[in-house]
Amino acid sequence: MHPIGIGLSDVGRMREQNEDNLLVDDDLGLYVVSDGMGGHVGGEIASDIAVASVAREIGRKRSVLFDMAQGEVDRDLLESIATGAVRQASRAIFDAADGTEHEGMGCTLTLLLVVGQKAVMAHVGDTRLYLNRDHKVSQLSTDHTMANELAIAGVISHEAIQTHQYAHVLTRALGSRAEVNVDALVLDILPGDRFLICSDGLGDYIDSDSWLGRQIDAAEFDALPEELVSFANASGGQDNITVLVTRIEADAPELSIADELSSHVQHKFDALESVFLFEGLSMALLTRVLDCCEVNDYASGDVAIAEDSPISQLAVVVEGHFEVSDDDSVHGKLGPGDHVGATTLLSPRRARASLRARGEGRLLILQRDPFWQLVRQRPWLGVGLLERLGRQLSQDLDRSLEEREDDNEGGGGLTPGQRF
C-alpha cells in the first residue's frame, strides 16, 4: 500500500504570524504537523526545528523502512524509529534554545509514518490525528492538556474541556525539557483509509467525530484541507490553522486481496470488542490492546489450551470453532467472539478444560504480562478494565453459588459466609 498526502497551513484571523509547520513526504510515507507554543518566544522556530529534525532522523532510516515495507513490518522497531525521531527533535529544540533569548520555546507535534501495511503515530501535545475508515471517524491521539487530564481523572466532564480555563495548558511539549514522553500507536492500515492531522486551530472547532466524518466524506480529497481551513476561519480563526490529510491506496498486487485484508482486520476488532472487558472502547484503545495480542492459527484437532495446564491468558475466537472438553466429555463449542480465560489475567490457575480446534480456526491471545504492562502504562484505562473484570468475577461467583444452592436442595451445602 502507498499513501498520498496533501496539506495546507494558514495564519488564521487573529494571529500576526504562523507558528505552525507541516511536512508531506509521500516517498518516505511521512506526514507531520507541529504547532509552536502560542505566546512563547520562538514558537515558530521550535516547530521549524521539530519538523526538520524529524524528517532528518527518519530519513536516515530510509533503507530500514524500505526493507520492512517489502516484507514483515517489525512493530517494535517501527515504533522505536518514530518515537526516537520525536525525542531527538525535543533535544534539538532544547539545545538550540539553551542560553539564548528563546530559552523555554517549545511546540507540539504529531506524525504519521506509513510502512507497508502498517502505520505508526508518534504524538506530543494537542495536535491531533484522526482516522476515517468505512465512513466512521476515530480520534487516535490524546490531547496532552491539563483540562483533558482532569476529564480523564473524572474531575471535570468531557463536555467541559473546551471552555475550561486550562483547555490550552499543555502537560507535554517538545523542547521545554530535553526529554519528552511520546505517545505511540502502531496500527494496521487498509485501502481507502483517510488520516487527518490538524493543529488546534481546527481541532478547537470540531464538535464531534461524527461531524468530522461527514465533512471528510462530502469533500473531494484534494479540496479537503482548503475546506477545513476555511471552516476554521469562518468559525473564528482564533489560532493558526494547519490541516494535513493522507489517503491509503492499494498497490496493484494488493487490489485482489483488499477485501480479504479488510475482513481480517475487522474480524480482530470485532472479536476483541465482543469481550466484556473491551466492549465500547474507542478504536484507539482497542488498537492499543491489539498491540499486546498475538493471533494464532490452528488446524483441525489442534489443542489450543490443554486441561490442567497453566493458564494466564485471554483467548478470543476470531474465526472457526473450538470444542470445550474435559476427561473426554464435550461440553460445547465456541465460535467467533466467544472467549475463555479472562479472569486468569487477574489470577493465573490451571485450565479446567481443554480447548480444541474443530476445523481451521484462529484465536486472539492476550497474555497476562502484556495486559498488566498496558494497565501500568495507562492507569486510568487499567482502572476501567479492572472494574469490569471485578464485576464479571462477582457475577460468575453469584451464578456458581446459585447453581450450588440448587444442587444442594435449598443451599444446605453453603456456609453462612458463602450466602453473601
pLDDT tens, position by position, 68-100: 999 889 999 999 999 999 999 999 999 999 888
Number of H helices, E strands in the chain: 12, 18
Which of 230, 256, 282 is at the close of a domain? 256
Strands 183-188, 118-124: pairing kind: antiparallel
Domain edge (last residue) among 256, 275, 298: 256
User: Do 206 and 333 reside in the same domain of the chain?
Assistant: no
Report phi then psi at 402, rounded to 5.
-65, -40
Q: What integer pLDDT is reported at residue 417 of this predicted model?
A: 45
| Residues spanned by the domain of 264 | 260-406
Q: What is the mean pLDDT of each run of 10 residues along the chain (420 residues)?
A: 96 94 98 86 92 98 95 93 98 92 92 96 97 93 91 81 86 92 94 96 93 91 96 96 96 70 85 89 89 93 95 94 88 92 90 94 94 86 82 79 67 48
Domain count, the chain: 2
Same domain for 233 and 98:
yes
8 A C-beta contact, residue 129 and residue 120: no
Do 150 and 213 sit in the same domain of this protein? Answer: yes
Decide which of 256, 282, 299 is a domain's last residue.
Answer: 256
pTM: 0.87
- Asked if residue 144 and residue 239 are part of one domain, the reply reads yes
Could you tell me if 226 and 307 lie in one domain? no
Assess whether 344 and 244 both reside in one domain.
no
- Given a contact cutoff of 8 angstroms between Cβ atoms, the answer to whether 321 and 361 are in contact is yes
- Cα-based distances in Å from 169 to 11, 128, 160, 172, 397: 21, 15, 14, 9, 46
Q: Which residues pair with 7 in a beta bridge?
A: 244
